[in-house]
């Protein structure tokens, strides 16, 4: 335990961090590690690997991911902004390189290899993009003569173009929803809302017409015809789990789900631990989003408000897409469940997001003084 009278970076961090956020992020990482024991051995055995191959790799990624989250949580808002600019610049460059020199998997070029490690740059782009756009929106709100909104639109266009080129429609939709939510918070005019909404709808129609794999997934979702083995099996696993599950290690349907350790780990959780466990898991994600939006609502600094809201919205929408696919409420889309699914790039990138959230929601001296001033004004207490 750190004493309140101690001074120093660690003591200051300990007494100013949002502990509920910190505990929630660590809890999700722990749940993800636990579920890796249930979801990954069958996949590893099908690939001819050691049964606990993915469990060991999951544990290996957890330690650096936790270090990244805690390290970033020490940053000031200005340092968060500068770090995000660097991460965004490097990520965009690597996304361009991935189009020409990246690893092609199932017709998509989203990964690059560095020192023998496969990295998905778009995962790291997402939190950095949110923070940089929050800064641009905040600068425009502070000084309307600064074309921050215009630059944010250009940046969004660049990011969307790179994602579509990979192609990765799911990440494009996720990024668009988060960016649109932040723009709405920043006071987007109704004309812009209609224009951007129309462009988004046209983009979805264009993707359906021009991208065969997108059309195939949407057609299979609407008609139930074609290769729907994975989503049907995932649904069967959820149904078999019932309210209380089959018990740890007792799942049978999970053994034939191809991506049970990544995109469909939610179905494995339902089969072995039951629907009640899944409701608790969904509640944890809902708590993160609602607590983040509550912080944003109380925050008077525009940059902090937009950034925190955008970052928790990113986690929330990504979780919603993953769970929606598992429940067959959305067309099949490869997207991980934050901090739960196996995946090195995804876990570390989400911990970057978590680190930014922890850093931006810390109780700083100037913030506490501002809160005391607002309290006195609201209750008629004279200033000291």
Residue 102 per-residue DSSP state: S
- Give residue 374's pLDDT: 46
- Give residue 263's pLDDT: 85
Of 28-42, 81-95, 157-171, 250-264, highest mean pLDDT: 81-95
- Give residue 124's pLDDT: 93
Decide if 92 contacts 125 (C-beta within 8 A).
Answer: yes
pLDDT grade for 383, boundaries at 50, 70 and 90 = very low
What is the widest separation between alpha-carbon atoms in the chain?
73
Residue whose structure tokens are 């749940």: 31
Grouping H, G, I as helix, E, B as strand and the rest as coil, residue 112 is strand
Cα–Cα distance, 61 to 262 (Å, whole number): 14
Model-level pTM? 0.88
Cα–Cα distance, 262 to 194 (Å, whole number): 36
Grouping H, G, I as helix, E, B as strand and the rest as coil, residue 31 is helix
pLDDT score of 280 more than 90: yes
> Higher model confidence: residue 254 or residue 383?
254
Counted residue by residue, the chain has a size of 384
pLDDT score of 75 more than 90: yes
- Give residue 129's pLDDT: 97
Closest CA to 91 of 114, 75, 69: 114
Decide if 91 contacts 122 (C-beta within 8 A).
Answer: yes
- Give residue 203's pLDDT: 80
pLDDT digits (tens, 9 = 90+) for 334-381: 788 999 988 778 899 999 999 999 999 998 765 554 545 544 554 555
- Reading the block at residue 181, the tokens are 């939510």
- Give residue 163's pLDDT: 92
Average pLDDT over residues 252-273: 85
* 118 half-sphere exposure, CB direction, 13 A CA radius: 11
Q: Is the peptide bond before 80 cis (omega within 30 degrees of 0)?
A: no
User: Crossing angle for the helix pair 19-39 and 265-298, nearest 10 degrees?
Assistant: 170
> Higher model confidence: residue 358 or residue 194?
358
Closest CA to 165 of 131, 121, 130: 121
Average pLDDT over residues 54-68: 91
Closest CA to 260 of 38, 23, 53: 38
Average pLDDT over residues 193-212: 80
The span from the first CA to the last CA of the chain, in angstroms, equals 32
Closest CA to 309 of 328, 322, 294: 294
Cα–Cα distance, 65 to 125 (Å, whole number): 16
Closest CA to 82 of 72, 95, 93, 68: 72
pLDDT score of 311 more than 90: yes
Grouping H, G, I as helix, E, B as strand and the rest as coil, residue 360 is helix
- Give residue 226's pLDDT: 66
pLDDT score of 42 more than 80: yes
Cβ-based neighbours of 92, under 8 Å, separated by 6 or more: 121, 125, 158, 159, 162
pLDDT score of 29 more than 90: yes
Q: What is the mean pLDDT of the chain?
A: 85
Decide if 275 contacts 243 (C-beta within 8 A).
Answer: yes
- Give residue 92's pLDDT: 95
pLDDT score of 16 more than 60: yes
- Reading the block at residue 138, the tokens are 């905040």
Cα–Cα distance, 48 to 70 (Å, whole number): 36
Closest CA to 275 of 307, 299, 241: 241
Of 39-53, 141-155, 196-210, 364-378, highest mean pLDDT: 141-155
Sheet strands side by side (includes 103-105):
103-105, 108-114, 117-119
- Give residue 369's pLDDT: 47
């Amino acid at each position: 335990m750190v004493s309140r009278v101690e001074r120093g970076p660690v003591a200051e961090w300990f007494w100013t961090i949002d502990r509920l956020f910190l505990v929630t992020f660590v809890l999700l990482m722990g749940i993800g590690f636990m579920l890796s024991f249930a979801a990954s051995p069958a996949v590893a055995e099908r690939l001819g690997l050691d049964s606990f191959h993915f469990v060991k790799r999951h544990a290996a990624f957890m330690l650096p991911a936790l270090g990244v989250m805690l390290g970033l949580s020490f940053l000031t808002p200005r340092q968060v902004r500068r770090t995000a600019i660097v991460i965004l610049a490097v990520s965009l460059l690597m996304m361009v390189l991935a189009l020409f020199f990246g690893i092609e998997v199932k017709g998509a070029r989203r990964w690059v290899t560095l020192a023998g490690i496969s990295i998905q740059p778009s995962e790291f782009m997402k939190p950095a993009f949110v923070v940089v756009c929050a800064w641009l929106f905040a600068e425009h709100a502070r000084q309307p003569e600064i074309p921050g909104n215009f630059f944010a639109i250009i940046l969004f266009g660049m990011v969307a173009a790179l994602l579509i080129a990979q192609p990765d429609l799911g990440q494009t939709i996720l990024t668009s929803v988060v960016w649109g939510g932040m723009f709405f918070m920043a006071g987007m005019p109704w004309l812009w809302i209609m224009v951007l909404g129309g462009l988004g709808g046209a983009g979805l129609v264009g993707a359906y017409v021009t991208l065969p794999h997108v059309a195939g997934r949407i057609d299979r979702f609407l008609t139930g015809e074609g290769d729907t083995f994975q989503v049907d099996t995932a649904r069967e696993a959820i149904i078999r789990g019932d309210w209380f599950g089959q018990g740890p290690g007792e799942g049978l349907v999970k053994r034939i789900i191809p991506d049970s350790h990544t995109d469909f780990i939610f179905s494995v959780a339902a089969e072995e631990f039951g629907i009640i466990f899944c409701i608790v898991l969904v509640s944890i994600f809902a708590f993160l989003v609602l607590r983040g939006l509550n912080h944003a609502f109380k925050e008077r600094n525009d940059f902090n408000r937009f950034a925190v809201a955008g970052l928790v919205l990113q986690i929330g929408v990504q979780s919603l897409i993953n769970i929606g696919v598992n429940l067959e409420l959305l067309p099949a889309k490869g997207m991980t469940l934050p901090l739960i699914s196996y995946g090195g790039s995804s876990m570390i990138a989400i911990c970057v997001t978590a680190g930014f959230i922890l850093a931006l929601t810390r109780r700083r001296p100037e913030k506490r003084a501002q809160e005391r001033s607002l309290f006195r004004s609201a209750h008629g207490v004279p200033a000291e």
